[in-house]
Amino acid sequence: VFVRFHYAISFREGYINIEETPRKMARTRMRLFSRLFMVIMCILVSSSYIDAQARDWNTARTLATNFVTPLTQTQKLNLIRGIGCCKKCAYQTAAVGSFPGLCLEDGPLGLRVLRNVTAFPSGINAAATWNRSAIYERGRAIGEEFYTRGINVHLGPYLNLARFPGGGRNWEGFGGDPYLAGEATYENILGIQSTKVMASAKHMVGNEQQNYQYTASSSIDDRTVHEVYGWPFLRAVQANISSIMCSLNRVNNQYACGSSYLLNTVLRDHYKFQGFIVSDWN
């Protein structure tokens, strides 16, 4: 992922589904895996034991290379596949050697499946305060609760822009104004990741309604991606976010999680994103 990423990785229970994009079918899977594992481990190694903010990406890459080099191909594959769902974690990755695996959990307003947890104010209410410090503290409080429950990756914040008024999840996000949503995103992520928890901003991009979300296509030109729908994701990258989740829907008739334009050109080349990408569920 750090490098050009021309494959779609489906994060599903028990296996990886890899679809080769047409222009890079000649590359071997081994070459893909060797690059992908280095990126994943940059996140895993740098965040498991100390605050991820305390290390830069170059240091993380060096640590990741040292960890990954002696692993077998099977061990590397186990690092990036889901192995279970819905007890404490929406998904887990397998333990390999001294690394215990990652626990990923919803959601943007706090922990979803556990009892005795906090229901935090919704994203739209947080944004309505126009208060940077309050939004930061909301993120920090969410991160602290995830951290105390042993969860590594917070599947949030929700960055879609409520462009469809009847969208069932509009309240999770920071509203329809790209600038306000971007600034709220920035503060929220700084707060979350100050607690040693990784944030995973979602959903990149155009996931603006729940109806037909698995099949609908959002028609968005390049300028609109950069100036409107992608703007909160740019601010997420500028906040040094660890992960971004690609969306279930299609964008311009191509599935977002299989779009080299979105994941390589926009995220990697234009935004300089250095973390890992995870697909949405199902």
The residues that are catalytic are 280
Between the CA atoms of 260, 263, 269 and 270, what dihedral angle is there, to the nearest 10 degrees?
120
What distance in Å separates the CA atoms of residue 75 and residue 96, rounded to the nearest whole number?
6
Q: Are the C-beta atoms of residues 205 and 230 closer than 8 Å to each other?
A: yes
Bridge partners of residue 202, in order along the sequence: 158, 245
Q: Extract the runs of DSSP E, i.e. beta strands, from the chain.
A: 7-12, 15-20, 91-92, 103-105, 153-154, 198-204, 217-218, 243-246, 250-251, 254-255, 276-279
Residue for token digits 């021309």? 6
What distance in Å separates the CA atoms of residue 62 and residue 65, rounded to the nearest whole number?
5
